[in-house]
Chain A
Amino acid sequence: MSVETQGWGPLLIIALMAVVTLATRWGGVFVMSFVPIGHRTRQFIAAMSGSVLVALLAPLAVQGDGGARLALATTAVVMLVLKKPLPAIAAGILAAAVFRQLSV
């Protein structure tokens, strides 16, 4: 089924996007309310919470351009040394910017 993007069509399209997104925001909480939280569940959750981020970042690091890789590497190093997120993020962005300005 397709919806026209004229008139009030976009409202229907946006409403569908909003409902699906809200379902993903609520779904995990809803499902967990039926799962007993034991030691194993906690371990699953703890391992998964870091893994979400790693899984999000891995393709970015492997498929990204040199600027993207340099940015991530710089952020990781500065974060390991200073243990403060904001300088680490700033250094990463700066690294990407410098790399891309120099390599045209």
Chain B
Amino acid sequence: MLATDTPLRQHELDRHLVWIGFRQMVPIAVFVMVFGAAFGLAAMQSGLDPAWIVIMSTLVFAGAAQFATLDLWGAQVPMLALALTVFAINARHLLMGATLYPWLRPLPLARRYGVMVVASDANWALAMQAFGRGEPGLGVLLGGGLALWLFWVLGTWLGTQVGDLIADGRRWGLDMVMGCFLLAMVVGGQKNLRMLLIWLVAAGASLLAYRYLPENSHVVVGALAGGLLGMTWTEQSHER
């Protein structure tokens, strides 16, 4: 998924690219709105006030972590358990940031970290795909991220109002949207024997961690296992 040449103009970022990225993400963001609604509904059922639910989606913008913390919600919330849960589930952001770094490096600091505020699975995957094709990808990272954020917050609000409408979303396969999207990104990426073996190792490590290691560690363990194999078993470098 990564061009081996030094990125030249791929770190370009202007209004036009951001708007294109926004529009490119809207079809996926519509599904994210349904997730948001599911979260809004679940949070209501966990006893949160609608205003706090919408504020949480606005400020946190991390679906899986938000869902997970609902289990901790009661008359009191244990802060250490909360922080650890959120960190473990969102630790994949660390890896995403690291993979984006070669293209973020040319940006001034404020922009570099500003773009990352809306980094999430879907816009990261599309950005990496664009970089892999040698195209600019920061537009879809920022624009797509803004689309996801907007629809996530909107969906959350809808869920607190009319959540009952989507209570049965699982029966319509709506829980599979993000899984299918991310898989499509994997399949659409670089494919060769080396990459397939790396993915096998990543999948195996992830499953082992899922079974035997603490909850939510599997993504980081699997990704690092794949990354380390890729680093030891390097491709022939084609320096030009």
Partners in one complex: yes
Select one of A16, A27, A33, A43 contacting B83, CB under 8 A.
Answer: A16
Shortest beta-carbon distance from A16 to chain B in Å: 6
Kindly state the separation between the CA atoms of A23 and B89 in the bound complex, as whole angstroms: 13
B173→A96 contact, CB < 8 A: yes
Residue interface mask A73-100, B partner, CB < 8 A = 1: 0011001100101101100111111001
Kindly state the separation between the CA atoms of A14 and B221 in the bound complex, as whole angstroms: 27
Select one of B73, B98, B102, B179 contacting A72, CB under 8 A.
Answer: B179
> B75 — which chain A residues lie within 8 A by C-beta?
4-6
Chain B: which residue is nearest A104 at the CB level? B171
Residue interface mask B90-130, A partner, CB < 8 A = 1: 11111111111110110000001100110101000100100
Select one of A4, A20, A83 contacting B86, CB under 8 A.
Answer: A20
Which residues does A use to contact B, with CB under 8 Å? 1-6, 9-11, 13-18, 20-33, 37, 39-60, 62-63, 67-68, 71-72, 75-76, 79-80, 83, 85-86, 88-89, 92-97, 100-101
B93→A49 contact, CB < 8 A: no
Q: Count chain B CB atoms within 10 A of each CB in A21, A39, A94 and give the residue with the most.
A: A21
Q: Could you give 5 example pairs across A and B, Cβ below 8 Å?
A: A28-B101, A46-B190, A46-B230, A51-B223, A71-B180
> A20 — which chain B residues lie within 8 A by C-beta?
83, 86-87, 90
> B112 — which chain A residues lie within 8 A by C-beta?
29
Instruction: Please count the residue pairs between chain A and chain B whose beta carbons lie under 8 angstroms apart in the complex.
Output: 299
Kindly state the separation between the CA atoms of A48 and B199 in the bound complex, as whole angstroms: 9
Kindly state the separation between the CA atoms of A3 and B80 in the bound complex, as whole angstroms: 10
> B73 — which chain A residues lie within 8 A by C-beta?
5
Select one of A6, A39, A52, A89 contacting B223, CB under 8 A.
Answer: A52
Assuming the contacts A20-B90, A54-B186, A89-B184, asked whether A14 and B59 have C-beta atoms less than 8 A apart, the reply is yes
> B183 — which chain A residues lie within 8 A by C-beta?
53, 57, 72, 75-76, 79, 92
Assuming the contacts A86-B27, A95-B173, asked whether A71 and B198 have C-beta atoms less than 8 A apart, the reply is no
Assuming the contacts A13-B82, A42-B4, A96-B173, asked whether A3 and B77 have C-beta atoms less than 8 A apart, the reply is yes
B interface bracket (residues with beta carbon within 8 Å of A) = 35 or more
**Among the listed stretches B8-16, B151-159, B204-212, which one makes contact with chain A, having 4 or more residues with CB under 8 Å of it?**
B204-212
Kindly state the separation between the CA atoms of A42 and B199 in the bound complex, as whole angstroms: 17
Assuming the contacts A29-B116, A55-B202, asked whether A46 and B98 have C-beta atoms less than 8 A apart, the reply is no
Select one of A24, A33, A47 contacting B101, CB under 8 A.
Answer: A33
Select one of B52, B69, B83, B202 contacting A51, CB under 8 A.
Answer: B202
A42→B224 contact, CB < 8 A: no
Kindly state the separation between the CA atoms of A101 and B33 in the bound complex, as whole angstroms: 23
Q: Count chain B CB atoms within 10 A of each CB in A6, A44, A55, A88 and give the residue with the most.
A: A55
Kindly state the separation between the CA atoms of A83 and B133 in the bound complex, as whole angstroms: 14
> A55 — which chain B residues lie within 8 A by C-beta?
202-203, 205-206, 218-223, 225-226
> B219 — which chain A residues lie within 8 A by C-beta?
52, 55-56
